[in-house]
Amino acid sequence: MRRMRVQVAVALLVAVMSVAAPASAGPDRLLSDTRHLAREHPEIWTGATIARGDQAMLVVAQGAPAGTVTLREIEKAQRAVAAVWGPVQVVVLVPASTVQAAVLAAPAAVEGMAALADIDHVIIEPTGFARLSPVGRQVVLTHELTHVATGAAGSADMAMWLVEGFADYVGYLHSGLTVPTIAAELAEEVESGNIPTELPDRTDFHAGSPRLPQAYEEAWLACRYIAEHYGQDRLVTLYRQARRLGTEAALRDILGRTTTELTQAWRAYLAQQLRP
Ligand SMILES: [Zn+2]
Cα 262 to averaged position of ligand 1 atoms, centre (Å): 21
Residue 27 is predicted with a pLDDT of 74
Q: Quote the percentage of the chain above a pLDDT of 90.
A: 81
127 CA to middle of ligand 1, Å?
Answer: 18
Average pLDDT over residues 57-67: 93
> How far, in Å, is the centroid of ligand 1 from the Cα of 6?
34
- Check residue 21 and give its pLDDT: 54
Distance in Å, CA 116 to ligand 1 centroid: 7
C-alpha 143 – ligand 1 centre gap (Å): 6
The one-letter amino acid at 147:
H
- At 9 the pLDDT is 43
More confident residue, 23 or 234: 234
Instruction: Give residue-wise pLDDT tens across range 1-52.
Output: 333 333 344 445 445 545 555 555 567 899 999 999 999 999 999 999 999 9
Q: How far is the CA of 180 from the centre of ligand 1 (A)?
A: 20
Q: How confident is the model at residue 261 (pLDDT cuts 50, 70, 90)?
A: very high
Task: Say yes or no: domain 2-153 is CATH 3.40.30.
Answer: yes
pLDDT of residue 176: 95
Q: What are residue 198's phi and psi, to 5 degrees?
A: -130, 150
Task: Place 206 in a pLDDT band, splitting at 50, 70 and 90.
Answer: confident
Q: What is the DSSP string of the chain?
A: -HHHHHHHHHHHHHHHHTSPPPSS-S--HHHHHHHHHHHH-HHHHTT-EEEE-SSEEEEE-TTSPTTSS-HHHHHHHHHHHHHHT----EEEEE-SSHHHHHHHHTTS--TT-SEEE-SSEEEE-HHHHHTS-HHHHHHHHHHHHHHHHHTGGG-TTS-HHHHHHHHHHHHHTTS---HHHHTHHHHHHHHTT---SS---GGGGSTT-TTHHHHHHHHHHHHHHHHHHH-HHHHHHHHHHHHHH-HHHHIIIIIS--HHHHHHHHHHHHHHHH--
Please tell me the distance from the alpha carbon of residue 94 to that of residue 160, in angstroms, as a whole number: 26
Predicted local distance difference test score (pLDDT) of residue 16? 55
How far, in Å, CA of 142 to CA of 214, rounded? 20
Q: How far is the CA of 197 from the centre of ligand 1 (A)?
A: 22
* Ligand 1 ion: residues within 5 Å (CB): 164, 167
Bridge-based pairing of strands 115-117 and 121-124 is antiparallel
| Residue-level pLDDT at 179 | 96
User: Which pLDDT score is estimated for 253?
Assistant: 97
How many angstroms separate the alpha carbon of residue 147 from the centre of ligand 1?
Answer: 7
The answer to whether the beta carbons of residues 258 and 252 sit under 8 Å apart is yes
Percent of the chain with pLDDT over 70: 91
Ligand 1 mean position, distance from CA 9 (Å): 31
Q: How far is the CA of 113 from the centre of ligand 1 (A)?
A: 10
Predicted confidence at residue 26, as pLDDT, reads 62
Instruction: Report the range of poorest mean pLDDT among 17-31, 143-157, 243-257.
Output: 17-31
- Average pLDDT of 56-84? 95
Ligand 1 centre to CA of 190 (Å) is: 23
Round to the nearest angstrom and report the end-to-end CA distance of the chain: 63
What separation in Å is there between the alpha carbon of 179 and the centre of ligand 1?
A: 19
Q: Give the pLDDT of residue 153.
A: 80
Domain boundaries, the chain: 2-153, 156-274
Centroid of ligand 1 to alpha carbon of 77 (angstroms): 14
pLDDT band, very low/low/confident/very high, at 262 (cuts 50, 70, 90):
very high
C-alpha 25 – ligand 1 centre gap (Å): 32
Rounded (5°) CA angle 160-239-116: 50
Report d(CA 16, CA 244) in Å as an integer: 36
Query: How many whole angstroms from 251 Cα to the centroid of ligand 1?
Result: 21
